[in-house]
């Protein structure tokens, strides 16, 4: 059929809930930084890149899972793609969260301090969400490769 399916049950699974949390808190990470003069400090540029890049890709993957598009493209090894995506998101977000936290000082700009500190906290929360999804992706990938 030409219509796309809609899988609302995906949002009730733990990976689905983690993905929604990644989207909401990832948006918070980059909007907290974007509302400041982050461009004066290259470290925050890196955090912005990682946060926006993975936010867009996570929204893309949520749409793919919600519309069950992956069932229409069986040539793509979706379990491997999911594992690579979540694993890379975890590693790069962890680096970005550490860079974010280490760059927050009152001496730089006290006006932006609270936004940068909050973005650092939420970056670590998003990192833990990607770590959880990496675990679930690994379990799914492992069960597919053993069959």
Note the pLDDT tens digit of each residue in 40-81: 889 999 999 999 999 999 999 999 999 988 888 889 999 999
Question: What is the band of 8 on the pLDDT scale with cuts at 50, 70, 90?
Answer: confident
In this prediction, residues 6-30 reach a mean pLDDT of 94
- Tell me which residue of 40, 132, 37 sits closest to 93, measured CA to CA: 132
Q: For a pLDDT cut of 70, what percent of the chain falls above it?
A: 94
In this prediction, residues 15-41 reach a mean pLDDT of 93
pLDDT over 70 (residue 13)? yes
pLDDT over 50 (residue 147)? no
Mean pLDDT of the chain: 91
Question: What are 106-119's pLDDT values in tens digits?
Answer: 776 677 888 999 99
pLDDT of 3 reads 66
**SS3 string of the chain?**
CCCCCCCHHHHHCHHHHHHHHHHHHHHHHHHHHHCCCHHHCHHHHHHHHHHHHHHHHHHHHHHHHHCCHHHCCCCCCHHHHHHHHHHHHHHHHHHHHHHHHHHCCCCCCCCCHHHHHHHHHHHHHHHHHHHHHHHHHHHHHHHHHHC
pLDDT of 106 reads 77
Token pair, residue 56, equals 């867009």
Per domain, the residue ranges of the chain are 1-76, 77-146
90 phi and psi, to 5 degrees? Answer: -60, -50
**pTM of the complete model:** 0.90
pLDDT over 70 (residue 94)? yes
pLDDT of 2 reads 56
């Amino acid at each position: 059929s030409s219509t796309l399916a809609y899988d609302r049950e995906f949002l009730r699974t733990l990976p689905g809930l983690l993905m929604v949390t990644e989207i909401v808190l990832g948006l918070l990470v980059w909007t907290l930084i974007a509302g400041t003069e982050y461009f004066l400090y290259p470290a925050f540029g890196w955090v912005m890149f990682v946060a926006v890049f993975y936010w867009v890709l996570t929204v893309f993957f949520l749409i793919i899972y919600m519309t069950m598009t992956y069932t229409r493209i069986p040539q793509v090894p979706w379990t491997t793609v999911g594992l690579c995506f979540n694993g890379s998101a975890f590693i790069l977000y962890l680096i970005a969260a550490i860079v974010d936290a280490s760059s927050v000082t009152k001496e730089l700009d006290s006006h932006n301090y609270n936004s940068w500190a909050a973005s650092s906290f939420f970056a670590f929360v998003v990192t833990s969400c990607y770590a959880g999804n990496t675990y679930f992706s690994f379990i799914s990938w492992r069960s597919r490769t053993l069959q």
